[in-house]
Chain A
Amino acid sequence: MLPGALVILVSFGYLALLFAVAWLADRRADQGRSLIASPTVYALSLAVYCTTWTFYGSVGRAAATGIGFLPIYLGPTLMMTLGWFLIHKIIRVAKANRITSIADFIASRYGKSQGLGGLVTVIAVVGVVPYIALQLKAVSHSFTILVGATPQTAPLAAGTVPLWQDNALYVAMIMAQFTILFGTRHLDATERHEGMVAAIAVESVVKLATFVAVGVFVTYGLFDGLGDLFARARAEPSLAALLTTADSAAGYGSWAALTFLSLLSVLLLPRQFQIAVVENVDAAHLRRAIWLFPLYLFVINLFVLPIALGGLLHFGSGQVDADTFVLTLPLANQREDLALLAYLGGLSAATGMIIVETIALSTMVCNDLVMPLLLRRDWFGLAARTDLSGLLLGIRRWAIIVILMLGYAYFRLAGEAYALVSIGLISFAAVAQFAPALIGGLYWKGATRAGALAGLAAGFAVWLYTLLLPSFAKSGWLPADAMTAGLFGIELLRPQQLFGLTGLDEISHCLLWSLLANLGAYIGFSLIRPPDAGEARQAGLFVDALRVEDTERWRGGLAGGGSQNLVADLLALAGRFLGPERARTAFSRYARARNATLETIQPDANLVYFAEAQLAGAIGSSSARVMVASVAQEEPLGLDEVMNILDEASQVRAYSRELEQKSQELTRATAELRAANARLRELDRMKDDFISTVSHELRTPLTSIRAFSEMLLDDPRLALAERKRFLGIVVGETERLSRLINQILDLAKLESGRADWARVPVDLAAVIHAAAASLGQLYREKEVALEIAIAEPLPPVLADHDRLVQVMINLLSNAVKFVPAGTGRVKVGAGGTAQGVRVEVADNGPGIQPEDREVIFEKFRQGGQDVLTDKPQGTGLGLPISRQIIEYFGGRLWLESPAAGGATFVFTLPLPPRDNAGKIYSGGSPDGQEDSDRR
């Protein structure tokens, strides 16, 4: 037990805190830094679905039916999975049409019908009154229990206390004042209340935390965990029954009915519609709400059954109202602090529901019921008044007070006969009547105002008769025999066994008949006649939510200035993208189909559609809409449209980037091909040159051999010395010939890549000495000095010994050829470097002209000579072959011309890779590795 003053103080403190949150959020919103522009806040605010029904009532329901409390939360989970297209579409439609409430939405869908808006408002108010009564009942009871001396043994019988002592009345009055402060301090054109949403989100956190706290306390404080709790429940036969559900068709039927009912309610309750649709900041926030809101429901329900079982075990069945276990369990165990917390949680749940619900209802009452009436009758000359905001606020404030007083009245009249959940379900069944008109209207263009009115009226009437009326009867305010005997004493009309249908619980029974009547009338009356112009226009707006927006606006523009200009503009526009000829043909075809010519086409919405469709094929639908809009004198673009265009444009850009890449690749490939082709042509030309040069080279010695041989043959009188000389020349020329042929063969092998030489470690010093030795005679004959300077020891290289000797001989013989006899000097140097071995052959000859430095490495070209005129001193193949050999072994051969004159040929050979053991890795031929060094 807690002192009443403390509880009241804490309550007001908490409400003040909420108000501070709301005030802060409103201020931030005015500054443009919205606090609620977050998907998490959106999901939390949706949890306004959890009222004291959830906080107190679920436990009571669980104590009576076990898991029977769950369908109310499974339904919303299912609805949220549909949210991505259903709620999303509703939000888009609502934003596009500036919808301010569910009544506005339905009225707007069926041609802005005032009658329909009024009817929806009446249904909503009447339907939700029991639900508000439920909150008042819960708050006043929780207060009574908290300050009471002992836990309530039975619910207080309302109506027994005088009005002025009934704290539910004071709760209702405080709530009204609080709601007025929250929701109607000023007018907002969009009917959005950022501060309220922020406060609701905070409240959602409070109720979740406090309920879980109580759950943990019961489960782990009073009992030894879930296992213990369930085990003890199973031991009691009356409780064991709660752990399974009635295994009957009716049981599962009512389970499914409740799931379906709550599935609809989470969207159709005025406060849910307000939070989910009207207060939505960004449709993308739905993304998180789709799983976070069900997760919230999941968590808050985890401990419902444990608390219910704990209460039943602790107090015994029927001793304490199970709806109060959340409070009475902590109180009975001397945990007043926890009970106070739980009370705050319940207060959160109640205030959240009442604030949003009454604000939503007051908006509806003001905009869809009172104002249309006032304006139509114009009792006060309203049409002439410019500023109505004071009047609007006044109407809303009075609506809030009236609604809460109605709630209180229902609580006084009927509230005590029912458990919390049963009262709530009555409201659920009422708002379910909106489903056909709202959801049907989003997807069925043929639905008409008459259908919606008839459906709503029929469903509402059945609800009144089968559910609301019996709730009064049950409370003793209507004669009970009206229930048992039926209307006018006709048994078939018994409210809860309508037409003799039995075997269903009252909710399923009402839901079945009311939705049957509702749907039947909705469809039936809709099919009597086609929608009129206004209805068809609105149907298009809602069903084709996004597409039609623009067309609709053009229609307005067209009706005013519908000129032939538009046809010409559209034609020009289409022509720009499709080509003038094609556009003209398409428009002519369109005109013929309407018995008109190109000149007499009606510039109507159909034409705009047509032009858009034509363009969409060429530039994408979003861009087409924008282009057409630009012609049809559009309003500025919305963000969504711009996003769609960007989306399409970026796709196109990605596509064109790909194309660009492809074309670049093609260009590259073409360039490569062209280069390869040029190279091939060059090779072809070189081959021709080569053949002609070779033929020439072969013919020169052949000619001289032939000439001398003929002389020997023809002239038998030649002196022996002369013969000998001639034969000497023939032999020399033959040697030259065979050397030439050998070299050509070498070259051919090398160039075709078929050279098959060994790769073994070779000592270059040995190579140099071998080459010097074989040319020693030549040098001595010409009196040329040969100096050899080798920086020993040279590291071995991987190569073929004989081929390297061939290269050395070629370089040395070239050198000796060009140095002057007698004073000539040739120096050979060799040394190891970091990368490999470097060998130089330097002479003091005339040197080589800069322009010839690369030429000498071409075939049949020799420095300073034209092969075709002068008699060559060599074959012209030595250097090309040498270079090929060196390059074959991975080295380089080039010419350096030192400033001192002469020519220096240099080649390098790389060091072989070594394995870990430091041994030379000798490529493909390891054999002969040992002795090659000594070769």
Chain B
Amino acid sequence: MYRSRLTTQRLAAVFLLGCLLFNYPLLALFNRAATLLGVPVLVAYIFVAWLGVIALAAVVIERPDD
């Protein structure tokens, strides 16, 4: 564990970012009737943000220890 203290902090940051992205008020910003490429913006936003959080976590955890 002590070997990856930085990784732990980064993942905690990803967690906080996810909490922020997945909740009010950011969620409310996209809660409207508009569409993006035919997909409602709210749906598009959540899925993109979700994938972003997963990708970030993957990058953080899979990069070699520094």
Contacts and interface: CB of A to CB of B under 8 A. Distances in A.
Interface string B22-66: 111001100111010111101100110011011101100110000
A259 B35 CA distance: 25
A302 B50 CA distance: 11
A81 interface: yes
A96 to B, nearest CB: 13
A642 to B, nearest CB: 14
Interface in A205-260: 225-228, 230-231, 234, 240, 243-245, 247, 252, 255-256, 259
A82 interface: yes
Given A85-B1, A244-B31, A244-B32, A227 B57 contact: no
B62 A291 contact: yes
A295 B40 CA distance: 22
B11 A81 contact: yes
Nearest to B13: A81
Given A227-B39, A647-B3, A84 B28 contact: no
Contacts of B12: 81-82, 85
A256 B33 contact: no
A74 B18 contact: yes
Given A78-B19, A78-B22, A305 B43 contact: yes
Given A290-B11, A290-B61, A298 B1 contact: no
A294 interface: yes
Nearest to A233: B40
A89 B58 CA distance: 20
B28 A247 contact: yes
Nearest to B25: A252
Contacts, number: 109
B54 A295 contact: yes
A256 B23 contact: yes
Contacts of B32: 244
Contacts of B61: 84, 287-288, 290-291
B23 A252 contact: yes
Kindly name the residue among A80, A81, A88, A647 whose own CB sees the greatest number of chain B CB atoms within 10 A: A81
Interface residues of B, number: 37
Contacts of B47: 298, 302
Interface in A122-145: none
Contacts of A291: 54-55, 57-58, 61-62
Given A84-B4, A243-B33, A294 B54 contact: yes
Contacts of B27: 245, 252, 255
Contacts of A244: 31-33, 40, 42
Interface in B1-19: 1, 3-4, 7-8, 11-12, 14-15, 18-19
Contacts of B31: 244-245, 247
B13 to A, nearest CB: 9
A432 interface: no
Given A226-B38, A231-B38, A243-B40, A290 B1 contact: no
A248 to B, nearest CB: 10
Interface string A76-110: 01101110110011000000000000000000000
Given A244-B33, A256-B23, A84 B38 contact: no
Nearest to A92: B1
A225 B38 CA distance: 10
Interface in A43-94: 67, 70-71, 74, 77-78, 80-82, 84-85, 88-89
Contact of B1 (A71, A88, A231, A247): A88
A84 B7 CA distance: 9
A115 B45 CA distance: 47
B47 to A, nearest CB: 7
Contacts of B58: 290-291, 295
A278 B32 CA distance: 45
Nearest to A252: B24
Contacts of B42: 67, 243-245
Interface in A453-495: none
Contact of A259 (B22, B33, B54, B55): B22
Nearest to B32: A244
A255 B28 CA distance: 12
A546 interface: yes
Nearest to A84: B11
A139 B61 CA distance: 38
A77 B54 contact: yes
Given A70-B46, A256-B24, A291-B61, A81 B39 contact: no
Kindly name the residue among B7, B37, B46 whose own CB sees the greatest number of chain A CB atoms within 10 A: B46
Contacts of B35: 230, 234
Nearest to B38: A227
A230 B40 contact: yes
Given A231-B38, A243-B43, A255 B23 contact: yes
A84 B31 CA distance: 33
Contacts of B39: 226-227, 230
A298 B15 contact: no
A260 to B, nearest CB: 10
Nearest to B58: A291
A295 B58 CA distance: 10
B57 A81 contact: yes
A259 B23 contact: yes
B1 A546 contact: yes
A84 B8 contact: yes
Contact of B50 (A84, A290, A298): A298
Contacts of B51: 298
B8 A81 contact: no
Contacts of B40: 230, 234, 243-244
Contacts of A89: 1
Given A78-B22, A82-B11, A252 B46 contact: no
Contacts of B54: 77, 291, 294-295, 298
Contacts of A247: 28, 31
Contacts of B4: 84
B18 A77 contact: yes
A907 to B, nearest CB: 61
A247 B24 CA distance: 10
Contacts of A81: 11-12, 14-15, 18, 53, 57
B53 A77 contact: yes
A704 to B, nearest CB: 84
Contacts of B24: 252, 255-256
Contacts of B18: 74, 77-78, 81
B23 to A, nearest CB: 5
Interface string A152-167: 0000000000000000
Contacts of A74: 18, 22, 46, 50
Contacts of A82: 11-12, 15
A302 B32 CA distance: 20
A231 B4 CA distance: 48
B42 to A, nearest CB: 6
Nearest to B3: A647
Interface in A640-656: 647
Contacts of B50: 74, 77, 294, 298
22 contacts: A74-B18, A77-B54, A80-B57, A81-B12, A81-B14, A82-B15, A89-B1, A226-B39, A228-B38, A230-B38, A231-B38, A240-B33, A244-B42, A245-B27, A255-B27, A256-B24, A287-B62, A291-B57, A291-B61, A294-B54, A298-B54, A546-B1
Interface of A: 67, 70-71, 74, 77-78, 80-82, 84-85, 88-89, 225-228, 230-231, 234, 240, 243-245, 247, 252, 255-256, 259, 287-288, 290-291, 294-295, 298, 302, 305, 546, 647
Given A77-B53, A78-B18, A227-B39, 8 more contacts: A74-B22, A227-B37, A230-B39, A244-B42, A291-B61, A294-B50, A294-B54, A302-B47
Q: Which 5 pairs from chain A and chain B are nearest by CB?
A: A227-B38, A291-B58, A252-B24, A243-B40, A81-B15
Interface of B: 1, 3-4, 7-8, 11-12, 14-15, 18-19, 22-24, 27-28, 31-33, 35, 37-40, 42-43, 46-47, 50-51, 53-55, 57-58, 61-62
